[in-house]
Amino acid sequence: MSAAASRILGVGTYVPPRVWSNHDLSRLMDTSDEWIQQRTGIKQRHWVDLNEETGPSDLALKASLKALEAAKTKKEEIELIIFATLSPDAFFPGSGCFLQAKLGLTDVPALDIRQQCSGFIYGLSIADQFIKTGTYKKVLLVGAEVHSKVLDRTTRGRDVSVLFGDGAGAAVIGATDGSAKDGSRVISTHLYADGTHAKELWIKAPGTAYAGDSITHERVDEGDFFPKMNGKTVFVHACKKMSESLTRALEQQGLRPSDVDLYLFHQANARITEAVAKQLELPADKVFNTIDRFANTTAATIPIGMDEAIKAGRLKPGMLVACAVFGAGFTWATALIRW
C-alpha cells in the first residue's frame, strides 16, 4: 500500500575541521579577503587534509550517522541510499556503494546521481516518489563533496577555486500517513534542466568524448582537469530560474512568497541569493544563509543549511520551507516542505 507522503525524519552534517580563510587563499593565489567577500559573500570554507585519503563517502559516513541519530532510525532500517555528488571517490563505482560498505549494510541498493548543485533536491524528489509508491519506507539521502582536491589553487583558477568548500549533509526520508499534528511532509518537488548551457560550467576532462586518450600531458598542461565557469552567464540564469521556479511552485499550491516561513537557497554566491530575494520581495529574516562559513558545498549545501538552521533555532516543526537550487548542466529545482 502506498504512503500518503514522505517526510524528513532527521538531518545530519559533517565538514572537515580544517578552515581555510580568504587570507589563507591569498597566500596561494593573487586574491584578497576584500575581493572575495565583495563578490561572493564568502569569508571561509572547510577543506579536507589534501595529504590524506579522504573522499566524499568518508564525509558522508559521518553525516549519515548523525542523520540516523537525529531521525531515531537504525541503519538497518534504511532500504535505499541515494548519493548526490559531482566529486566522486572514483570514476566508478559510485560513491553510494562506498558509503554502503562503510555503513556496514548489505544488499541495500545504492543510487548515485550527478545533478551537481541541484543534486540534493533531485534526490529528494526520487526518494519522495519511491516512498509514495510504497517501494521503500526509509531512504538515506546524501549530498557530499570534496572539491578541494580538484580545484586549481593558483591565480589561474582563482575565480572558481575561492567559491568551493568540502562537506556532507544527509537526511533520512520516511513515510508519513499525514496524521502528524504539524503536517510534516514533502509537499512538492519541481525539477528542471537545460543542457544547451552544459559547457558554461563544467570540467572538460577526464572524459570519453574526445579523440585519443582520456588523459594526456596536453590536457593536464591546459588545465582541462579543473572546473571552468562563465560566471556572468551562470549568475544571470541562476537568478532568473530560481525565482521563476519558486514562483511557479508556490502558485501551484495556491501560496504566496509571504506564506513561506523560511527559504533555503543554494549557496553559490551571496549576490545570487540577494537578487532572488529581491525579486520575490522577501524579508531578510526569512532567508537563511551559510555561504559565509562554508562557501559552495554543491550537493551538500541544502542539507547543511537545514541542519544549521535547526541549530540556530530558525527551522522548527510545522514551518513551511521553500528550497531553490541551481547548478551545472544547467540544472535547477525547487522543493516545498512542511517541516
Determine contact, residues 11/167, Cβ cutoff 8 Å.
no
Please name the amino acid found at residue 89: D
CA dihedral 130, 135, 140, 141 (to 10 degrees): -10
Look up 197 and say whether it is catalytic.
no
Look up 22 and say whether it is catalytic.
no
DSSP string, 297-311: -GGGHHHHHHHHHHH
The catalytic residue among 97, 147, 296, 323 is 296
CA end-to-end span of the chain:
24
Instruction: Give me the residues paired with residue 265 across strands.
Output: 324
Look up 117 and say whether it is catalytic.
yes
Instruction: Please name which of 8, 334, 336 lies closest in space to residue 170, comparing C-alpha atoms.
Output: 8
The catalytic residue among 266, 269, 289, 323 is 266
Q: Cα separation of 231 and 237, whole Å?
A: 10
Which backbone phi and psi does 217 adopt, to 5 degrees?
-60, -35
Q: Cα separation of 184 and 168, whole Å?
A: 24
The catalytic residue among 97, 117, 239, 323 is 117
Using DSSP's 3-state secondary structure scheme, residue 334 falls into strand
Q: Cα separation of 206 and 219, whole Å?
A: 9
Buried (b) or exposed (e) across 239-269, using 16+ Cβ within 10 A? bebbbbbbeebbeeeeeebeebbbbbbbbbb
CA–centroid distance for 325 within its chain: 8
CA dihedral 237, 241, 94, 304 (to 10 degrees): 100
All 3 cell numbers of residue 247? Answer: 514562483
Q: Which residue is listed with cell 569569508?
A: 43
Instruction: Please name which of 44, 45, 48 lies closest in space to residue 57, comparing C-alpha atoms.
Output: 48
Neighbours of 125 (CB within 10 A): 19
Q: Kindly list the catalytic residues.
A: 117, 266, 296
